[in-house]
Amino acid sequence: MTHRQHQEAADQTTPAQQGVQADARPNARKVFMRTYGCQMNVYDSERMNDVLGTEGFSATDSMEDADLVILNTCHIREKASEKVYSELGRIRKIKEERALAGKDMMVGVAGCVAQAEGDEISRRAPVVDLVFGPQSYHRLPELLAKASGGAKVVETEFDIDAKFEHLSERAARPVLKRPPAAFLTVQEGCDKFCTFCVVPYTRGAEVSRSVEQIVTEAKQMAASGVREITLLGQNVNAWHGLGANGETWGLGRLLRRLAEIDGLDRLRYTTSHPRDMADDLIEAHRDLAELMPYLHLPVQSGSDRILAAMNRKHTRDEYFRLVDRIREAAPDIALSCDFIVGFPGETDQDFQDTMDLIRRVEYGSAFSFKYSQRPGTPGATMSDQVPEDVKSARLLELQELIANQQTAFNASRQGMTCNVLIERKGRHAGQVVGKSPWLQPVAIDGSEDLIGTIQAVEITRIAANSLFGRLIAGHHDLIGSTADGHQGGGI
């Protein structure tokens, strides 16, 4: 696994509207949630807020006002653990100041660093009251009760079935209105064991939710105002869930079922592995207007030698042929990718093979990183580690190429009319922001009552990472990915 998930949500506070609702009671307990890393962590933080809301907690954006602080951590980025311990040092001071004022504060560490380091966190950071992995958040009330009694709680069991059952129970309950775009976890864990990755050790083996569980939650989300759902999984296109008749479904069939739900107008999924792009999934990109023309398909390297060392179990030629099949089915699709530069043993030629792959595929966007050693992974013990200065130089060169491709892709949208899901207020008064079918932010002049609608927008200006446009008069609350109802292209 490596998903685009691991960049998008880095270091953010989970706002109240994503989970815990505001509570007018003066004595209500307050929770501060900070989320690191991936979209899966964002989803988990939202569900933790749901759980805490039933326990009388309300959200706060101020750590100093919090009765409970939770860091939902990610183990993908370099020096992830050190970042957590640094933040815990700051929290310790705040907790001490609150104690002097006669106020309690509990501190929890959740997520993949918690799963990987468990008891070590409690040992190194006595300020922490409870440590729990990503499969245990549904037990938060029980864990908080133990910690309130003075126990140091460390819970890192893999109980994914119980977590999925909790999600299903929650989906059966009515909720307040939600933002127009949301995440839905359908699969967790990874069986691929890439030699650079910790996910199989922190999230466990691949487990898929059932069709009924997913459809029930998706219907509830649509009923609460969600119009776009992104299906999440460490290896989401490996999802294989049980249907009502005991048969096993693949992701393509699931997407077709979700497209039938009233009010649910847009579908996405992330992150995918090239080995799991089945024919029915590629055909879904051809057939479903609701499935947005965007696909994150990490390759990591363009060198067959490095791909083998990474245990990716596909070749560059197989990746090329897969891209050709996808683009034949959906010619307007935008591809994004992950790249790791400086994997142990990577030569100048290996790196040039990666640059050649990027030039041949032409990505709409990509995420790139210098290789960093992860304790417990095979890559960490490999000989011939690449010097940091070499990795830095290669990364700079690769990112320049990717930036040029992204600029060219964005420029190709100039003058196009496409459907935009309006999601939030913009940075400026009288401005709202939504997403294009190709996942680009689009800013337009418009009122807040447009939020939650799908509008035809002409793209009038291009920026480095976003688009600007104007509303097309007479086209309101449209369905599909483009204003003419076809997937991808403009009017």
Map out the domains of the chain as residue ranges. Answer: 5-157, 158-292, 296-412, 417-471
CATH architecture assignment, domain 5-157: 3-Layer(aba) Sandwich (3.40)
User: Annotation-wise, does 38 bind a ligand?
Assistant: yes
Cα(197)–Cα(123) distance, integer angstroms:
25
The CATH code belonging to domain 158-292 is 3.30.750.210
Residue 149 to residues 257, 281, 404, Cα–Cα distance (Å): 47, 50, 57
pTM of structure: 0.77
- Cβ neighbours of 283 (radius 10 Å): 14
Structure-block tokens of residue 457: 């927008």
User: Annotation-wise, does 112 bind a ligand?
Assistant: yes
**Letter string b/e over residues 2-14, b meaning 16 or more CB atoms within 10 A of that residue's CB:** bbbbbbebeebbb
Is 60 exceeded by the pLDDT of residue 487? no
Q: Is 224 exposed, middle or buried (0-12, 13-18, 19+ CB in 10 A)?
A: middle
Identify the band that residue 338 occupies on the pLDDT scale cut at 50, 70 and 90: very high
By DSSP bridging, strand 240-242 and strand 248-250 are antiparallel
User: Annotation-wise, does 194 bind a ligand?
Assistant: yes
The CATH code belonging to domain 296-412 is 3.30.750.200
Fold of 417-471: OB fold (Dihydrolipoamide Acetyltransferase, E2P) (2.40.50)
User: What average pLDDT does this structure show over 16-21?
Assistant: 41
Cα(278)–Cα(132) distance, integer angstroms:
35
Identify the band that residue 122 occupies on the pLDDT scale cut at 50, 70 and 90: confident
pLDDT > 70 fraction of the chain, expressed in percent and rounded: 86
Identify the band that residue 114 occupies on the pLDDT scale cut at 50, 70 and 90: confident
User: Annotation-wise, does 418 bind a ligand?
Assistant: no
- Report pLDDT for 79: 66
The 10s digit of each residue's pLDDT in 76-91 is: 655 667 788 889 999 9
- Report pLDDT for 223: 94
User: Annotation-wise, does 337 bind a ligand?
Assistant: no
Same fold for the pair 158-292 and 296-412? yes
